[in-house]
Amino acid sequence: AQKVTQAQTEISVVEKEDVTLDCVYETRDTTYYLFWYKQPPSGELVFLIRRNSFDEQNEISGRYSWNFQKSTSSFNFTITASQVVDSAVYFCALANAGGTSYGKLTFGQGTILTVHP
């Protein structure tokens, strides 16, 4: 069985603060994919990033960065210099690359991020 845990239910920050969203996962598979999605107040789900299990290189995209550590089964997401438009629910998700759960996403419960002006 696979599981994704986002322990932070809600985070509130003031604009320009840095914020890190935590994600811890469990899987027995050796090959898998990790994802982050953003759900703004309008409700749609926006794909942010995919990371393969065999690629532990961290990634930076503008103000967003992701830290993947297999040793701790974590895939954390940091927003630098947060902005009001970053206010959203953020979901971490896991998909195994093989076995009976191949291709199916398991989502964490989501973290509600509120950025105050």
Partner 1 sequence: DADVTQTPRNRITKTGKRIMLECSQTKGHDRMYWYRQDPGLGLRLIYYSFDVKDINKGEISDGYSVSRQAQAKFSLSLESAIPNQTALYFCATSDTGTGETQYFGPGTRLLVL
For partner 1, the binding residue among 79, 108, 113, 115 (CB under 8 A) is 108
Q: Interacting stretch for partner 1, rule CB under 8 A, among 12-20, 33-41, 59-67, 73-81?
A: 33-41
Determine, following the binding rule CB under 8 A, whether residue 11 of this chain makes contact with partner 1: no
Q: Which of 88, 91, 63, 66 has its CA nearest to residue 77?
A: 66
- Are the CB atoms for 64 and 48 separated by under 8 Å? yes
Residue range at the interface with partner 1 (CB under 8 A); choices 17-25, 44-52, 65-73, 80-88: 44-52
Asked if 2 contacts 26 with a C-beta cutoff of 8 angstroms, the reply is: yes
Contact region for partner 1 (CB under 8 A) — 14-22, 47-55, 58-66, 68-76? 47-55
List of residues contacting partner 1 (CB under 8 A): 9, 33, 35, 37, 43-45, 47, 50, 52, 91, 95, 97, 103-105, 107-110
